[in-house]
Structure 1
């Protein structure tokens, strides 16, 4: 008979294991000594210890499912309960019980984690739906379209919810995308129609611009080109494939006209600059006639200068008032000299001037005599009144005498 702390072998070769409930038969051993029997069943115990240890490690460090873990625990528990090993079977049962609790805790933990992931996924999808519904009303077609495509990719990366919730949210999400696509399609259809109208309008503007390009009616044509440019801007943009070609034709027609006008204007400006130089020389020649001492000679000279002046063409507009003003100054001096000559040689005017002077002189002489008489009589107030009247008549007489001098008298 042989034994150790956890088992023994009796004389018949029966092997027992000691448990809390008493000895349990492990098996019968007839192949060798009792020590070999205990060693054999102790190794079987050690094998169970290794298997339980490996399962504990798998449960702690891998994603072994609760179902598979429970199956493995049940299999090991059956082996422990079969009492086919010699060792501390109670310790193995305790370890298996603890492992059951661990697996259950892990299952609850994973269940809570899946619930949290599901809640997070629901909130994420609800946020995606809300953003998609807002984007469905946007007029930022490119940016909103790109964002909606990005939202689809985000949606695909999220876990599925329960079928009913997932389908409802997807329906709203899909409806928002469809609404945006419908609005965008309608917008671009309208834009295409507007661009087609713009193309037709600009075709007409180009045709008129090209027809005007050879015009030499510079002022009205330039004004019409400005109007055409305003109409061009108001017409809006045509399709991209037509816009650049139409613009190049439109601008090209204007360039032809304005290049021709610039060439003509450059020649005209050069001619007018030369004309200004000639007229300034004539104005200087006319100014040498001042002051006028010989009216007849000055008049003939100015007539010659003026004839040459009229034969010269236009001068630059900004210089015209200055150069013409110089000629007008000489012309006014001639007119004033002619008026003075006329007054001096006009017999009727001279007679009227002499008659008026004589009348005023007689009145002045009479007043002086009356003043002398009043003083002699001692009438000072009358003398003073007559003196004031004399002052007025004397002033008129002085003015008349001055006018008479112009007639050489």
Structure 2
């Protein structure tokens, strides 16, 4: 019989291993000596030691899952419990027990980590959903659209939650994107309709502008072009592929009209400047008739000047009041001379003036006689009163004599 501290071989070739629960049969050995039998089963033990050591290292240094680690522990425990090795099997069991504790601890840590990651992922996805729902109400179509696409990429990079929670959040997220897409589609459809309406309006405006481009009715046509421009601005923008072409046609038609009008106005301005020069010369000629010495000659000369004046035509508007005012001043001087001549040669007016002068002279003579009489009687108060009355009558008489003098009297 052969033995060592952890096992022995009896005389029948049966191999035993010593454990805390007593000896356990390892197996039967008939192929050689007892020493060879113990050496064989000791090598089995060393193999288990190596495998357990490797498993311990994998659990401590790699991301081996708890499930796979537990399966490996169970497999090794079966081998240890089968007692097919000679050595300190109880020590191996203790190591396996500690390894189970480590796996359980790692499982709990990973559970906590997964719960934390899940909470973080839930929070991140809820934040994405809230932002997506806010963006769904935005009218910043390009910016909001790009941001929603970025949120989708962010969502794909986050861990999945439990199916129910993940599906609920995704439904809200997807609904927000769909709502935004629907609003954006409606907006651009409406915008397209507005731009099509603007195109039709501007086509009409262009047609009218082109029809007016050869008009020579300068004032009304220019006013109509201003109205057309106001309508153009109010119409809004047409589609990009039409807007520039329509504008070029519209502006081109206006340019044709205003260039023609500018040319005509330039010729007119030159003609009116020459007219002004001629009228200024006539005004100077007319002004030489004042003061009037020979009314008949002056009237004939002014008539000649006025006929030439009327034949000349328009002058620049801003110069018109001044040059016409000079002619009107000469005309008023002639009228005043005519009125004076008429008063001087009017027989009825002369007779009235002579009659009035005679009456006033008689009244003055009478008052003087009454004053002399009052003084002689010593009635100075009455004389003073009559002298004051005499002053008024004498003033009227002087004025009448002056008027009578104008008649050559």
- Shared fold by TM > 0.5? yes
- TM-score, normalised to structure 2's length? 0.85
Task: Give the aligned length.
Answer: 406
Q: 1:149 to 1:8 in 2, by over 3 A?
A: closer
Aligned partners of 2:57 and 2:334: how far apart in 1?
132
1:348: Cα distance to partner?
Answer: 2.6
Match of 1:239 in 2: 239
Q: 1:382 to 1:41 in 2, by over 3 A?
A: farther
What SS class does the counterpart of residue 139 from structure 1 fall into? coil
Match status 1:72 vs 2:72: yes
Checking the alignment, whether the CA contact within 8 Å between 2:195 and 2:238 is kept in structure 1 is yes
Match of 2:399 in 1: 399
1:247: Cα distance to partner?
Answer: 2.0
Match of 1:304 in 2: 304
Q: Which runs of 5 or more residues in structure 1 are unaligned?
A: none
Match of 1:317 in 2: 317
1:319: Cα distance to partner?
Answer: 1.0
Match of 1:56 in 2: 56
1:160: Cα distance to partner?
Answer: 2.4
Match of 1:99 in 2: 99
1:53: Cα distance to partner?
Answer: 4.0
Checking the alignment, whether the CA contact within 8 Å between 1:24 and 1:83 is kept in structure 2 is no
Q: 1:403 to 1:22 in 2, by over 3 A?
A: same
Aligned partners of 1:98 and 1:282: how far apart in 2?
132
Q: Which moved more, 1:134-143 or 1:277-286?
A: 134-143
1:117: Cα distance to partner?
Answer: 2.4
Match of 2:374 in 1: 374
Checking the alignment, whether the CA contact within 8 Å between 2:9 and 2:34 is kept in structure 1 is no
Q: For the aligned residues, what is the CA RMSD?
A: 3.3
Q: Equivalent residues in 2 for 1:243-322 (5 A)?
A: 243-322=243-322
Aligned partners of 1:379 and 1:120: how far apart in 2?
135
Aligned partners of 1:258 and 1:391: how far apart in 2?
77
Q: Which runs of 5 or more residues in structure 2 are unaligned?
A: none
1:294: Cα distance to partner?
Answer: 3.4
Q: 1:324 to 1:85 in 2, by over 3 A?
A: farther
What SS class does the counterpart of residue 360 from structure 1 fall into? helix
Aligned partners of 1:376 and 1:54: how far apart in 2?
173
Match of 1:126 in 2: 126
Aligned partners of 2:396 and 2:46: how far apart in 1?
161
1:272: Cα distance to partner?
Answer: 0.8
What SS class does the counterpart of residue 290 from structure 1 fall into? coil
Q: 1:20 to 1:380 in 2, by over 3 A?
A: farther
Checking the alignment, whether the CA contact within 8 Å between 2:132 and 2:177 is kept in structure 1 is yes
Checking the alignment, whether the CA contact within 8 Å between 2:9 and 2:38 is kept in structure 1 is no
Match of 1:138 in 2: 138
Match of 1:387 in 2: 387
Match of 2:85 in 1: 84
Match of 1:176 in 2: 176
1:263: Cα distance to partner?
Answer: 0.8
Aligned partners of 1:7 and 1:171: how far apart in 2?
66
Checking the alignment, whether the CA contact within 8 Å between 1:15 and 1:29 is kept in structure 2 is no
Aligned partners of 1:56 and 1:292: how far apart in 2?
140
1:213: Cα distance to partner?
Answer: 1.0
1:47: Cα distance to partner?
Answer: 5.7
Aligned partners of 2:93 and 2:404: how far apart in 1?
160
Match of 1:150 in 2: 150
Aligned partners of 1:267 and 1:147: how far apart in 2?
63
What SS class does the counterpart of residue 237 from structure 1 fall into? coil
